[in-house]
Amino acid sequence: MGLFETVKQLLGVQAEAAATGEADAEDLFGMSTAYLTMDADLGYEPTGEAALCFSDVDSTGFRDTVQDVREILATTEEDGTVADFQEDDHGTQWIVVTADDFEDLVTNVHFGADTLIEGRYGSRLLAALFAFEGTERAGDPGQRVYWVYSFRRGAYYPFAPTGTNTRTDRVELKLSSVLDGELDVEDDRGYWYPLWPSKATASPWE
C-alpha cells in the first residue's frame, strides 16, 4: 500500500476543516460524461478501474453497512464488474472496482458512497478516484492520470503522478482547463492533494 496516512491527514482532517458541505454521492455522476471528453478531446482512455476511499469506524453498525455494500456489489460479478475490498496498514478502507463499462464503474462507486451516507457514515468518506491512461493522441502515451473527487470539498481535481513523489503539473492543468465546467473542479490548487502510489507503476490504492 501507499502512503495512506497522508491520505487520511489530507483528505480527512485538513479537508474537514475546510469542508464545503456534507458528502454528496450524486456528484460522482459527473464522470458519466467527463470520461467521454477525456478520451475524445484529450486522448486519455479509462483503464477500467475506479476506487472509493473511506476511514474505518470501530462499530458494529459501520461493519454491517460495509457488509451490505460488499453483498450487493458481489452480485455485479455476473456482469463483469468486480469489487475488491482492501484495508491498508493505517485502517483506511478501499473498494476497488474494475469493469469494462465505465458507467458500471461510476454506478458501483456511487452505490458504495451513497450506502455509507445513508448509514450516516458520510463523514468517513475521503475520496473517489477514476483512472485513465494516455494514448498517442494525448502526447503522453502510458501516462496514468486520475480524477479525484474529495467528499469533504465537494469537488474534483486531477492527479498525474510520475513516480512515488513526483507529479506532472502541466498535465493536471490541461485536464483541469478542459474539464472545468463539465466537472466541479476544485479552484484552490492547495487542495489538489497527492495520493502517492507505493511504487512508480502502481495505483494509489496498491
What pLDDT, in 10s, does the model give residues 68-125?
999 999 888 778 899 999 987 667 889 999 999 999 999 999 999 999 999 999 989 9
In the chain, where the domains are located? 4-191
What pLDDT, in 10s, does the model give residues 3-62?
444 554 556 455 454 545 677 899 999 999 999 999 999 999 999 999 999 988 889 999
Separation of alpha carbons 125 and 121, rounded Å: 7
CATH of region 4-191? 3.30.70
- Whole-number pLDDT of residue 78: 75
- Whole-number pLDDT of residue 112: 95
**Global confidence as pTM:** 0.90
- Whole-number pLDDT of residue 15: 47
Average pLDDT on 168-172 reads: 95
- Whole-number pLDDT of residue 57: 86
- Whole-number pLDDT of residue 118: 93
